[in-house]
Amino acid sequence: DFLARAVPGVQKLSPYVPGKPVDELARELNLDPAGIVKLASNENPLGPSPKALEAIRTELAELTRYPDGNGFELKSRLAARCGVSVAQVTLGNGSNDILDLVARAWLAPGLNAVFSQYAFAVYPIATQAVGAQGKAVPAQAHGHDLQAMLAAIDGNTRVVFIANPNNPTGTWFGPDALESFLGRVPQDVLVVLDEAYIEYAEGDELPDGLDYLARYPNLIVSRTFSKAYGLASLRVGYALSSPQVADVLNRVRQPFNVNSLALSAACAALDDADYLAESRRGNDAGMAQLEAGFAALGLSWIPSKGNFIAVDFARDAAPINQALLQEGVIVRPVGGYGMPTFLRVSIGTQAENARFLDVLGQVLARG
Ligand code: PMP
């Protein structure tokens, strides 16, 4: 029994269930993939930046050699952009890789990580995969209860995962809450501030994790090119931390964890300010469009600062999800997160949002 012999903690895991791929549903429904709307994985509906695509084409000329294992160019640009030194940047194969590196470096059987109820599914996966215990703290109005999370920290806690904004709820906390949290977390407990969606919320009432790095050497800010930068398939994310923490992450990091196409595309994407601004504008407009549509259908939702929104049907949402799939609309069920009455919908293009709302209206009218 190889499951029984796996690292303790693996037995209680179930595999991460991603949004259904477009091609898979197209095959099932015998439909052209172009007829499918996928609003399930918080992807950027704009497609990648043309600058990133161009960088990838150039990079295709050299696929035989290993990529730069230190990612020097991308790290230098990120350091300049974020106002930190290169020694404070760690690159990951997506920001999921960063979460994994943290778990591998600091967690083990007998130790634990604290995170919130309704937090991102990879926190328990990364934690339990190394035999450590995950402590899920009850949420408050679907958001992080930072006070309760502080209280959950014990002598065996090595890591706290917090996300701002959070996925799948879209909830967020402000600068005062973060400051008071960081000020009270024991200095030898690492705090991973997961800012996968921060580009959508910049300038809003959310704190910028970078402002806290100098004062909190136990802080790790993780970010990604998968969302607002539109490069989810390339798998590139990064952590910003004290140099000492970055040194530890780099000791457990796989050599060449970020491929050359991803490195080049990420550099180019960082330079494309217009693309980022357009992503943000489209997201704001799409969020307003979905909220208006939900209001018209008499539905409630959790206000979100991400590129997705959790809508509440006040009854089991699984049949609604099934009916949407039958019509070629893929959204994300969040029953696995303990939110069985909700569906999480990523913000799409105006046309995708309209199609989703239209189909949803028909599904609900059927009862
Ligand atoms: N953190 C959060 C909160 C997320 O929602 C996601 C993507 N679903 C990630 C991290 C990981 O994204 P990636 O590995 O693509 O950077």
pLDDT digit string (tens) for 253-283? 999 999 999 999 999 999 999 999 999 999 9
When pLDDT is averaged across residues 206-225 and rounded to a whole number, the result is: 97
Task: State phi, psi for 238 to the nearest 5 degrees.
Answer: -155, 160
User: What are 183's two structure tokens?
Assistant: 């000020």
Q: Residue with the nearest Cα to atom 7 of ligand 1?
A: 196
User: What are 299's two structure tokens?
Assistant: 């539905």
Domain with CATH 3.90.1150.10 in the chain: 2-47+274-366
Please say if the pLDDT value at position 367 is more than 80.
Answer: no
Report how far ligand 1's centroid is from the alpha carbon of 152 (Å): 24
Nearest to 237 by CA among 224, 222, 221: 224
Q: Which residues contact 146 (CB under 8 A, 6 or more apart)?
A: 162, 173, 177, 178, 180, 181
| Cα gap 83→106, rounded to integer Å | 26
Report how far ligand 1's centroid is from the alpha carbon of 60 (Å): 26
Domain with CATH 3.40.640.10 in the chain: 50-272
Q: What atom of ligand 1 comes closest to residue 41's alpha carbon?
A: 8
**CA-CA distances (angstroms) from residue 287 to 2, 75, 303, 309, 342?**
46, 32, 10, 8, 17
**Complex ipTM more than 0.95, yes or no:** yes
| Cα gap 260→234, rounded to integer Å | 10
Q: Which residues contact 227 (CB under 8 A, 6 or more apart)?
A: 42, 43, 44, 196, 197, 199, 200, 307
pLDDT classification of 203: cutoffs 50, 70, 90: confident
* CATH number corresponding to 50-272: 3.40.640.10
Report how far ligand 1's centroid is from the alpha carbon of 326 (Å): 27
Ligand 1 pocket, mutate which of 42, 44, 90, 224 (most atoms under 8 A from CB): 224
When pLDDT is averaged across residues 214-235 and rounded to a whole number, the result is: 98
Q: What atom of ligand 1 comes closest to residue 236's alpha carbon?
A: 16
| Cα gap 263→236, rounded to integer Å | 8
pLDDT classification of 192: cutoffs 50, 70, 90: very high
Q: Which residues line ligand 1 (CB under 6 A)?
A: 42, 94-96, 120, 163, 167, 194, 196, 224, 226, 232, 237
| Cα gap 87→38, rounded to integer Å | 39
Give the helix/strand (H/E) hosting 311: strand 308-312
Q: What atom of ligand 1 comes closest to residue 95's alpha carbon?
A: 16
CATH 3.90.1150.10 assigned to 2-47+274-366: yes
pLDDT at residue 52, as a whole number = 98
Ligand 1 pocket, mutate which of 98, 118, 161, 194 (most atoms under 8 A from CB): 194
The model's pTM is 0.96
pLDDT at residue 17, as a whole number = 83
